[in-house]
Amino acid sequence: MNLDELRRSKAATITRADAAELLDCDPRTITAGIAAGTIPAIHIGRRVVIPREPLLALLTAQPALIPSQR
């Protein structure tokens, strides 16, 4: 997955594996970012998914869409 595909996608969320491919890193790095709170995530039972819109906002520096972290 690349940034253009992420923008065109209609899916509400992506997987950690997709995010790792997008950012060219190990999925464990995505897991660490989720745990640290630097990557937005939704926990559904044991499943963890990343909401597409907040991730796009984070990657494209649109601060109005990025949830504030306090």
* Domain at 3-61, CATH class: mainly alpha
Tens-place pLDDT, residues 9-41: 999 999 999 999 999 999 999 999 999 999 999
Report the largest interatomic distance among the alpha carbons of the chain, rounded to a whole angstrom: 31
- The answer to whether the predicted template modeling score (pTM) of the entire model surpasses 0.85 is no
pLDDT at 68: 60
Domain ranges of the chain: 3-61
Q: Say if CB 54 and CB 16 are below 8 A apart.
A: no
Q: Say if CB 46 and CB 3 are below 8 A apart.
A: no
pLDDT at 66: 56
Q: Per 3-state DSSP, what percentage of the chain is helix, strand, and coil (rounded to 5)?
A: 50, 15, 35
User: What tokens appear for 63 in the block?
Assistant: 């601060």
CA pair distance 17, 50, nearest whole angstrom: 10
